[in-house]
Amino acid sequence: MKIAVDGYEIVTPMGGVGRITAGLLSVLAGLDPYGQVGLFVRRPTGLSFPTNVQERVLSPDRGYFRWQNLPLRKALRDFRPDILMAPNYTLPVFYGRLAVLFEHDISYVSHPEWYSRRERMKNGWLLPHSLKRAAAVVTESEFSRQEILAHFPSVGADKVTVIHPGLEERFRRSTAEDISGWRARKGLDGKKVVGFLGSIFNRRHIPELVEAVRQVRNRDTDVFLYVVGRDRTSPPQDIAGLTAEDWILWEEGLGDRDLPLFYSGCDVFCYLSDYEGFGIPPLEALACGTVPLVLNRTSLAEIYTGMAVMTDRADPEEIRAALETALSDEAKRAAVLAAFEARRPGFSWQKAGEKLFRIIRQTVGAARI
pLDDT at 227 over 60: yes
Express as a percent the part of the chain with pLDDT over 90: 87
Rounded distance, CA 165 to CA 280, Å?
Answer: 8
Rounded distance, CA 96 to CA 77, Å?
Answer: 10
Higher pLDDT, 85 or 119: 85
pLDDT at 139 over 90: yes
pLDDT at 369 over 70: no
| Average pLDDT of the chain to the nearest whole number | 94
Q: Residue 315's pLDDT is what? A: 97
Rounded distance, CA 113 to CA 109, Å?
Answer: 9
pLDDT at 248 over 90: yes
Structure confidence by residue, pLDDT tens digits, 79-116: 999 999 999 999 999 998 999 999 999 998 999 888 88
Task: Sketch out the chain's domains with CATH numbers.
Answer: 2-166+348-363 (3.40.50.2000), 176-346 (3.40.50.2000)
* Plot region of 78 (φ>0 → left; ψ -120 to 50 → alpha; else → beta): alpha
Please return the burial class of 285, using the count of CB atoms within 10 Å of its CB with bins 0-12, 13-18 and 19+.
buried
Structure confidence by residue, pLDDT tens digits, 294-318: 999 999 999 999 999 999 999 999 9
Side-chain-side CA neighbours of 99 within 13 Å: the count stands at: 25
Structure confidence by residue, pLDDT tens digits, 41-89: 999 999 999 899 999 999 877 899 999 999 999 999 999 999 999 999 9
Please return the burial class of 262, using the count of CB atoms within 10 Å of its CB with bins 0-12, 13-18 and 19+.
buried
Average the pLDDT over 338-366 and give the result: 95
pLDDT at 18 over 60: yes
Distances (CA, A) of 113 to 202, 209, 213: 11, 22, 28
